[in-house]
Chains A and B, each alone.
Chain A
Amino acid sequence: MAQEDTNVIDQPEVVRHKMVTIEISGKKYEVPEGITVIKALWHTGQEVVRGAGCLGGFCGACATYYRTKDDPKVRTCLACQMAVEDGMSFTIMPPFPARKALYDIRSLKDPKQDLFNLYPEAPLCRNCNACTEACPQKIDVREGVWKAVFGDFKSVSEMFMDCVMCGMCTPVCIADIAPNLVALYVSRAQGAHFTEKPQGLDTRIKEIQDGRFNDEWKKVLAMSEQELADHCATVK
């Protein structure tokens, strides 16, 4: 386990990967086994502009359909979070023109009722479960749509905390619902209207307005560099 070299930062890769054959949008390419789907695109010489964002599994820009060897089932993944394997075929999902309702979250009078005006299609869910199967974040999307319709906003906001807004649940919906947008509305309404106001926060804001910390500020800001450093050292 001991190290021979002192510079550990610029280590060359020791192991060369085995090459595998994959299919990108219908064309065959050879790439090193185990690299991510995004890296496979770069490896095969493609410029990626649409289709990559955070590269960390959080933004949903890289929504991708894929199929593994001999499996008829087309699955979904985030291309930056998925390793390629031999015989895999995939294609990046183009942006889908789902309708987003516009609202002013702060001035809603009856958010639970407003849901039906903003997204009248939400109660028309036909329970096909395609959205849940399409979700790369493993959210029970179908259940979330029902909970929204039945007014259980709290559960929806908890269930969809993992939602990266990749939109893969929308093209599959036979009732033209955009479950992620419904859930976003519901979660915001939950936060803005149905969550207790934190008392301590208001107290702190008022303390600052009333100048409760002014004396301490005056003392700290008048200190010399050395005094300030010494003072910082006492803060534990």
Chain B
Amino acid sequence: MEIHALQQIVHQTRDARRKQTIPKFSPADRDRLIHQYHPDYRSSAYRPIRFGPNAGDKTVVELAALLEGDSSIQEHIDLTPQYTTDVLVVGGGGAGCAAALHAHATGAKVILATKLRLGDSNSVMAQGGMQISVAPEDSPVTHFLDTLKGGHMQNDHELLKVMVEEGPSIAKWLIELGVLFDRQADGNLHVKKGGGSSKPRLLTCSDYTGLEIMRVLKDEVLNQKIQLLEFCAAVELLSDENGQCTGAIFKDLDNHRHVVVAAKSVILATGGIGRLHIQGFPTSNHYGATGDGLCLSYRMGAKLDHIDTFQYHPSGAVYPEQLIGALVTEGIRSEGGHLVNAKGERFVNELDTRDVVSSSIIRECEEGRGIRTMSGRVGVWLDTPLLDAEHGPGTVEKHFPAMMMQFERFGIDISKDPVLIYPTLHYQNGGVKIDANSETNVKNLFVAGEASGGLHGRNRLMGNSLLDLMVFGKRSGLTAASRAGSASQGKLTVNHLQRFRADAKKHGNSSGVISPMILPAYTRREAERTVTN
């Protein structure tokens, strides 16, 4: 059937659904649902990592292959540095920009190298907002508890306490730099309620929160004249004789030459893994989200945490084809949008945590209550017109201009028609294990932002990532910069590769792939006949 005919049921059942309240699942039901339907529990998608710091731990096969992958760097490579710096930041998203700005502000010399252009990242796409406990009825402790609950009690308490307590001062810093957060009539920050949170706590800049923050931070990086190396992808780290981190080797993507940077400390802010398309899922992530930081740190001996759990955002677009995997912001559900199956029924409390909502959508589809598009994809409805019905005409347009425009380009008016959604691979819950200063177990190697792990436990709460970036970007930047004065530049070697390769050999060699991946292989080769997503 044609998509318009299928969606009539959403319009027909709207009024009846408005009267319903759907209770949240009991803890036992919620666990059962997740175990049965969440992709994290598909055992066939997982295997143990054969060697390295996390030997024996299970992760998805796509990531295991990259972690066990070999470096493109040979041991005899010329390591004469082209650049020398105190702090080397790798990655130009939110965490990287925050780290660079704070390190620079202390007077340290900073280089920021990034794979694409400055700011081309997941950070620019964050629409839903940033959690900071600013409302009088809220508190950092409540923020802590909500996050723990969302993370299945697995969050690192120390990291989490640091994040929630530093939140308010981060908001102040951003406002001083000119970030335009939405306000109440009295001038105070406007807060929205996000999924899994007990109090309204989301700061927003309409539905452009990440873009607005990134426009400002990028501009500030340029204004501060921080040295940039764009289109430079880190392909290997450097270590001294004690295994401490001393710099990195990049591949310049314009001329394919190697660039060696000597640094007293390195901050990896390379973001997530969406473009690995784990378990065949489409993704909401940017072009460069290929888990590079995980591979680079792992070869240096850094331990990873919670790398068996990923976040599948409940609402990825399923229709139109061009938007597959693109995020439909959670804000729609925060403002009361219903999830509706093919029978016109609601089936989950829309504001439950992401893993619960995603699992229930997968359940609906697997049990035959999904809606199938012409191209064979399956999803459920998100009732967007309901927002205009509830809060008055023009609500969708006013609160979600970015999303309106995205669908309008393909002739869909989401204030009139519901959108079809299915979970999309969205976020890496775990990552490289860090301490409260964002440092790994490898000295002078810091990891900040989505690439790091521990803080979010087994499921990140919406809006906590943007805060994570700012807090741990800052902490890594300040700590790295504070070492610059006393430390001298260590030797540049790739000795860790010898160790890694010996280890690989003992365990039946590397996986045969070269990592990091840098960019996904979307370019169609001669022999292939199909289009990739």
Contacts and interface: CB of A to CB of B under 8 A. Distances in A.
Interface of A: 1-3, 6-15, 17, 32, 34-36, 39, 42-50, 52-59, 61, 81-83, 100, 102-106, 137-138, 157, 161-165, 184, 187-192, 195-205, 208, 213, 216-217, 220-221, 225, 228-229, 231-233, 235-236
Contacts of A42: 522-524, 531-532
A14 B375 contact: yes
Given A8-B365, A52-B116, A235-B149, 13 more contacts: A14-B376, A35-B531, A42-B522, A42-B524, A54-B122, A83-B410, A102-B225, A191-B216, A198-B187, A201-B188, A203-B136, A208-B168, A233-B149
A9 B208 CA distance: 30
B210 A217 contact: no
Contacts of A164: 211
Given A216-B139, A217-B141, A231-B145, A8 B215 contact: no
A191 to B, nearest CB: 4
A104 to B, nearest CB: 7
Contacts of B215: 163, 165, 184, 187
B141 A216 contact: yes
B107 to A, nearest CB: 15
A54 B406 contact: no
Contact of A53 (B117, B135, B368): B117
A192 B178 contact: yes
A198 B178 contact: no
B153 A225 contact: yes
Given A46-B523, A102-B223, A105-B178, A3 B378 contact: yes
Question: Would you list the 10 A-B pairs with minimal beta carbon distance, nearest first?
Answer: A53-B120, A188-B178, A196-B187, A14-B376, A191-B178, A192-B178, A232-B149, A42-B522, A200-B188, A54-B286
A205 B322 contact: no
Which of B178, B212, B320 has the largest count of A CB atoms less than 10 A from its CB?
B178
B342 interface: yes
A236 B211 CA distance: 31
B375 A9 contact: no
B450 to A, nearest CB: 14
B208 A162 contact: yes
Contacts of B39: 9
Given A47-B523, A83-B410, A191 B374 contact: no
A34 B186 CA distance: 48
Interface in B392-431: 401-402, 405-406, 409-410, 422
B34 interface: no
A213 B222 contact: no
Contacts of A82: 409
Nearest to A186: B178
B101 interface: no
B290 to A, nearest CB: 13
